[in-house]
Amino acid sequence: MSGSGQHFLQIPGPSQVPQRILGAMGLQVIDHRGPEFQKLGHEVLEGCRFAFKTSGPVLIYPASGTGAWEAAIVNTLSPGDRVLMVETGHFATLWCRMATRLGLEIEFIPGDWRHGVDASEIEARLAEDRAQRFKAVMVVHNETSTGVTSDVAAVRRAIDAAGHPALLMVDTISSLGSIDYRHEAWGVDVTVSCSQKGLMLPPGLGFNAVSEKALAASRANAMRRSYWDWQEMLGPNASGFFPYTPATNLLYGLREALRLLREEGLDNAFARHRRLAAATRAAVTAWGLEILCLDPTQYSPVLTAVLMPDGHDADAFRRVVLERFDMSLGAGLAKLQGRVFRIGHLGACNALTLMGALAGVELGLAAAGVPHRAGGLAAALAVLKEADAEGRAAEREDSSHAA
């Protein structure tokens, strides 16, 4: 039944790549030591500061988010350092595993994969650490495996309330460009991200936004590194260059992605993601299915993870949707495998794209014999209509004030 037409990629990353970005990436490779590249380098490095909301440096690596995780660790911490982390889901667990392999001592606050970070628990653990052995607090902003967003500003307040000097390190791999994030205002020391989600690029670029405190740590820590060394990167970056052959065509795409975000406006992009997420949750509720995230204040604007009814396998449902309707939905990861499917509504997604995706989900539920109620599409449409009416009313009010 899938036949012709566009494939719907509704996983929570990689997200669809807009045609403008694909076109930009098709430009010819240039001399990465020449003046044309220097201009490109300056533009993308400055644009990244805009995306992370920081006046400090942002380092760009030819890497996945996993590489950016490693760069954050090896530049700031030493083997044997004690780190506080929180089990919010699969990706927090993977970052913890990496930290352990790199010789860090981890205190991992357990979680149920249905809630975000509890800032009060972080404050309590740090307050008990009178010897100040914790060198860093590492959290995931938006847990891609669960559809739960944590309050990073609250984590910073907790660290400050405990009077603790630990670095704050945050994974924004699925939130940058999609959810309000403020590296500098929230006092984050290292922010980790990558290219293939809110930035609407293919995989291949990893980012570290860093504070002065983090840079000072990088000059004093004892972890060995070469490729990931911030100091090696920062020198050439000051002139718009990189210490090794860069991923030029991805940087072309990054420049275009940052232009798209500037044109829309970050706050408008964040509001769009919130609208699409609200419409998705309305559909899921109308279908009589359960959202994995249990705290409405922590609902993710990037994706919605949906629990399958007892006796029904999420992977079998996803297979039906792919084969019958040519749409990819996100799988349940690790202990959620087969129990949830994830609807991505991030990046270049808009209201019409979302409605097509939700129609595919509803068709798939029927085709796979998954118990559900009718009315999901109508519920989502009502949310989008209301948001559109509110937006037009706000525009009229702005126009009257301007007049």
Interval 324-355: pLDDT, tens: 999 999 999 999 999 999 999 999 999 999 99
CATH 3.40.640.10-classified regions of the chain: 19-262
Q: What is the pLDDT of residue 389?
A: 84
Which is more confident, 233 or 394?
233
Q: Binding site annotation covers 157?
A: no
Residues whose CB falls within 8 Å of the CB of residue 363, separated by 6 or more in sequence, listed in order: 321, 324, 325
Closest CA to 178 of 364, 8, 367, 347: 347
Phi, psi (rounded to 5 degrees) for 109: -70, 120
Instruction: Supply 100's token pair.
Output: 């352990």
Is a pLDDT exceeding 80 seen at residue 295?
yes
Q: What is the pLDDT of residue 351?
A: 97
Closest CA to 159 of 115, 120, 185: 120
d(CA 194, CA 129): 33
Q: What is the pLDDT of residue 5?
A: 87
Average pLDDT for 251-273: 98
Q: pTM value?
A: 0.95
> From 3.40.640.10, 3.40.50.300, 2.40.30.10, 3.40.50.620, which CATH number describes the 19-262 domain?
3.40.640.10
* Contact present, 285 and 103 (Cβ < 8 Å): no
Q: pLDDT band at 391, cuts 50/70/90?
A: confident
Q: What is the pLDDT of residue 359?
A: 98
CATH 3.90.1150.10-classified regions of the chain: 8-15+266-402
Q: What is the pLDDT of residue 390?
A: 81
% of the chain surpassing 90 pLDDT: 94
d(CA 18, CA 200): 7
d(CA 82, CA 133): 6
Q: Could you report how far apart the first and last alpha carbons of the chain are, in Å?
A: 54
Average pLDDT score, the chain: 96
Q: What is the pLDDT of residue 384?
A: 97
pLDDT (tens digit, 9 = 90+) per residue, 82-131?
999 999 999 999 999 999 999 999 999 999 999 999 999 999 999 999 99
CATH class of 8-15+266-402: alpha beta
Q: pLDDT band at 258, cuts 50/70/90?
A: very high
**How does DSSP assign 82-135, residue by residue?**
EEEEE--SHHHHHHHHHHHHTT-EEEEE---SSS---HHHHHHHHHH-TT--EE
Q: pLDDT band at 221, cuts 50/70/90?
A: very high
What CA–CA distances, in Å, run from 381 to 270, 279, 329, 330, 389? 19, 7, 20, 22, 12
Phi, psi (rounded to 5 degrees) for 343: -100, 115
pLDDT (tens digit, 9 = 90+) per residue, 169-197?
999 999 999 999 999 999 999 999 999 99
